[in-house]
Amino acid sequence: MMAIVNREALRFVGQRSRFLSSLVRPMVWLIVFAAGFRAALGLSIQEPYDTYITYETYIVPGLIGMVQLFNGMQSSLGLVYDREMGSMRLLLTSPMPRWWLLFSKLLAGTAISIVQVYAFLALAALFDIRFSPLGYLAILPVLVLSGLMLGALGLMLSSTIDQLENFAGIMNFVIFPMFFLSTALYPLWKMAEASPILRDICALNPFSHAVEAIRFALHLDINWASLGWTGMAFAVFFAISLIGYDPAKGSMVRKAR
């Protein structure tokens, strides 16, 4: 595990543009678009809390989820590259259990995403968008779970991709619907005003539950339903990934041929 984590950390340190883009993207949404969304939607956020919060404060958990979602996809892009170069196949032939190797890759990606999240929160604090000091600590275990779930999603997708060139299109096909059809930018009751069907899609979206778990934790509360849904989604995505990366059963057999 430590060898894999160190390898991913060294790769991340060598990719400064990846770190900068992970900060610039959510900051643009937070600073530039937040005012327009707030004015257009006329939001007066009181749910799920008893006190009023600003729209900027409301979307920060969604942007945290965005950071982890993009990081999970980019980590999976690295997996596709490693597989084409042969290093992934070499890793899977080691005597360690396959689930442990893949879980170590997920944990490494999650650790990197958490570093990016706290860097983003530090930048947000410079713009006077702050939370309770305990809230920053309370989201840590939730970030681990949400990072593992979103990383497992990317891992599952990478097990089905034959060529590196095809992965960029798949990323966009997954990232943007998953982000916009969630509670990252607006609450479910606002979506229900537009379309009950879209509201139901948002409610079933595992990204919505990851965002809600983060949102509650930032306000020192626990959303057990969202935590359970996120954990279940992680288990499903990871199980499918294990099948996909099984040389005897999954898509790795077809790629080897």
Q: 3-state DSSP call for residue 188?
A: helix
Local confidence band at 46 (pLDDT 50, 70, 90 cut-offs): very low
> Bigger pLDDT: 49 or 87?
87
Per-residue confidence (pLDDT) for residue 11, from 0 to 100 = 75
Sketch the domain layout of the chain as residue ranges.
2-256
> DSSP per residue over the chain, as a string?
-HHHHHHHHHHHHT-HHHHHHHHHHHHHIIIIIHHHHHHHHT--B-SSSSS-B-HHHHHHHHHHHHHHHHHHHHHHHHHHHHHHHTHHHHHHTSSS-HHHHHHHHHHHHHHHHHHHHHHHHHHHHHTT----HHHHHHHHHHHHHHHHHHHHHHHHHHTT-SSHHHHHHHHHHHHHHHHHSSSSSS-HHHHHHH-HHHHHHHHH-HHHHHHHHHHHHHTT---HHHHHHHHHHHHHHHHHHHHHT-TTTSHHHHHH-
Q: What is the pLDDT of residue 153?
A: 93
Strand, helix or coil for residue 161: coil
State yes or no: pLDDT of 166 exceeds 70.
no
Q: What's the mean pLDDT in 160-176?
A: 74
Tell me: pLDDT of 253 over 70: no
What is the spatial distance between Cα 229 and Cα 212, in angstroms, rounded to a whole number? 11
Residue 254 confidence (pLDDT) above 70? no
Which of the four pLDDT bands, split at 50, 70 and 90, describes residue 36?
A: low
> What pLDDT is stored for residue 217 in this prediction?
94
Q: pLDDT for 62-100, tens place per residue? A: 999 999 998 888 887 777 777 767 676 777 777 888 889
pLDDT computed for residue 107 by the predictor: 92
Are 168 and 154 contacting, i.e. CB atoms less than 8 angstroms apart?
no
pLDDT surpasses 80 at 167: no
* Confidence label for 48 from pLDDT (cuts 50, 70 and 90): very low
The pLDDT assigned to 65 comes to 93
